[in-house]
Amino acid sequence: MIFSRDKRWRPGLGIAFLPLLVNACGGASGQSKSGPGGDKRPVSVVMAKVVTRDMPVILDGLGTVTAFKTVTVRSQVDGRLDSVAFREGQFVKRGTLLALIDPRPFAIQLHQAEGALARDQAQLRGGQVNLDRYSRVAKDKLIPQQQADDQGVLVGQLEGSVKADQAQIAQAKLMLEYARIRSPIDGVTGVRLVDPGNMVHPSEAGGIVVVAQVDPIAVLFTLPQDELPRVQKALAEGKPAVDALSRDGSGVLATGTLEVIDNQINATTATIRMKAVFPNPDRVLWPNQFVKARLHLGLRKGALVVPAVAVQRGPAGAFAYVVGEDKTVAARPIVVDSTDTELAVIRSGLTPGETVVTEGQFQLKPGALVETREPGENKEPGGRPGKGAGKAPGAAREAKKP
């Protein structure tokens, strides 16, 4: 009822508002009928067929580049470091002179050993002459046999002294050679750890420089322990190929072979460590560089394949939306055998020729009606173009102007 200010009912005003109330109620009722429970508009999605094809068996793991050989070059003698013959970061060959320790103390030891050898050799020659003489005289019974025997013992002692002197000479020559420090491997030198003028000793932990061999070079990477049987089988048949990819997986840096499977599993991470060796003439791989290692275990014939984006993850595991003949979707549980950046190999759950959804799954639920659209096409549920689709960047703003 509608009253005026004097609280009297005016029937004309009430009649005028009745059509508006009826329209409002009818609109609300119509909206409830087209709500989510009754919405049968198709959802635009991208679809793909389940196919069979030959697929390479690939396992991916994170890896770290490590030098094939690493040597910390230390002095093997005590002395003063006279000079350094390498540049930091220089590529050196085995036997290249790296540093020189003051050689004069070792040269003096060599001369002393040579002098002792000359003295003992002269005494040995004299002793041998006397031994020959005593032996002849002893046969004629002109001197006691004991005297000849004693001379023989003396000659033996002199021979031992000569051999000891020769060993001292070899030792002195070795020390003199150790004063010239050479690279034990082919590789690249690191930062110099000690400057010329310092005293160096064999017991020092730091050494003079670290030389790392980078051609060939190695990559250490890990895989889940469940993959161990397959990797062992492939390694027994021959060294499988391994690709070293950039950390984001965008490109192959080098290709090598699997050489070693570690002799124990990491109990904390349930992974097994492996070592691959790569030729590295262009030095694209560098020690401690992070890479992605891709292990090739062979070729699988007639594998069941779908695009990797079709695989969804839920509380119960992996599943895919399968499109039926009536254009409705069902969430099908699947078992994924392996995946790469583009394709997934399905062990069970799908059959060849079926259609799966590869884009637009977030709009779906089991039983939803779908329609096909091109990849990347922006559409709202129901097939209508998305807001702003097909317009220039400023068109939407211009349309809003009164």
Instruction: Using the Cα atoms of residue 325, residue 331, residue 333 and residue 335 in order, give the sign of their dihedral.
Output: positive
Indicate if the pLDDT at residue 6 is higher than 50: no
Q: Where in the chain is the domain with CATH 2.40.50.100?
A: 75-101+181-207
114-125: pLDDT as tens digits: 999 999 999 999
Helix or strand holding residue 212 (H, E):
strand 209-224
- Those residues whose C-beta lies under 8 Å from the C-beta of residue 75, and which sit 6 or more positions away, are 81, 99, 101, 178, 181, 200, 201, 202, 204, 207, 208
Residue ranges, CATH 2.40.420.20, the chain: 43-55+302-383
Average pLDDT over residues 299-327: 92
Q: In this structure, what token pair is assigned to residue 388?
A: 């702003």
- Answer CATH for 75-101+181-207 from 1.10.3720.10, 2.40.50.100, 3.30.460.80, 3.20.20.120: 2.40.50.100
Are 234 and 226 in contact by the 8 Å Cβ rule? The answer is no
CATH 1.10.287 domain residues, the chain:
103-178
Question: Which run of H or E residues covers position 188?
Answer: strand 187-189
pLDDT band at 248 (very low <50, low <70, confident <90, very high): confident
CATH architecture of 59-68+211-299: Beta Barrel (2.40)
pLDDT at 141: 81
Nearest to 198 by CA among 183, 208, 211, 184: 208
- CATH topology for 43-55+302-383 is 2.40.420
**Quick one: pLDDT at residue 205?**
83
Q: Which helix (H) or strand (E) holds 69?
A: strand 51-73
Range scoring the smallest mean pLDDT among 86-90, 224-228, 382-386:
382-386
Query: Is residue 270 within 8 Å of residue 38, measured between CB atoms?
Result: no
Is it true that the peptide bond before 216 is cis, omega within 30 degrees of 0? Answer: yes
> Does the model's pTM come out above 0.95?
no
Examine the pLDDT at 275 and tell me if it is beyond 70.
yes
In terms of Cβ atoms closer than 10 Å to its own Cβ (0-12, 13-18, 19+), residue 16 is: exposed
Query: One-letter amino acid identity for 335?
Result: V
Distance CA 104, CA 79 (A): 10
Predicted confidence (pLDDT) per residue in 140-185, tens digit: 788 888 888 888 899 999 999 999 999 999 999 999 999 999 999 9
Query: For the chain, how are helix, strand and coil distributed in percent, rounded to 5?
Result: 30, 40, 30
Amino acid present at 31: Q
**Residue bearing tokens 């993850």:** 313
- CATH 2.40.30.170 domain range(s) in the chain: 59-68+211-299
Name the class of domain 103-178.
mainly alpha
Asked if residues 370 and 40 have their Cβ atoms less than 8 Å apart, the reply is no
Q: Say if strands 51-73 and 290-307 run parallel, antiparallel, or are unpaired.
A: antiparallel
Q: What pLDDT is attached to residue 134?
A: 85
In angstroms, rounded to a whole number, what is the distance separating the alpha carbons of residues 391 and 383? 17
Please name the residue that has the structure tokens 């000659």: 155
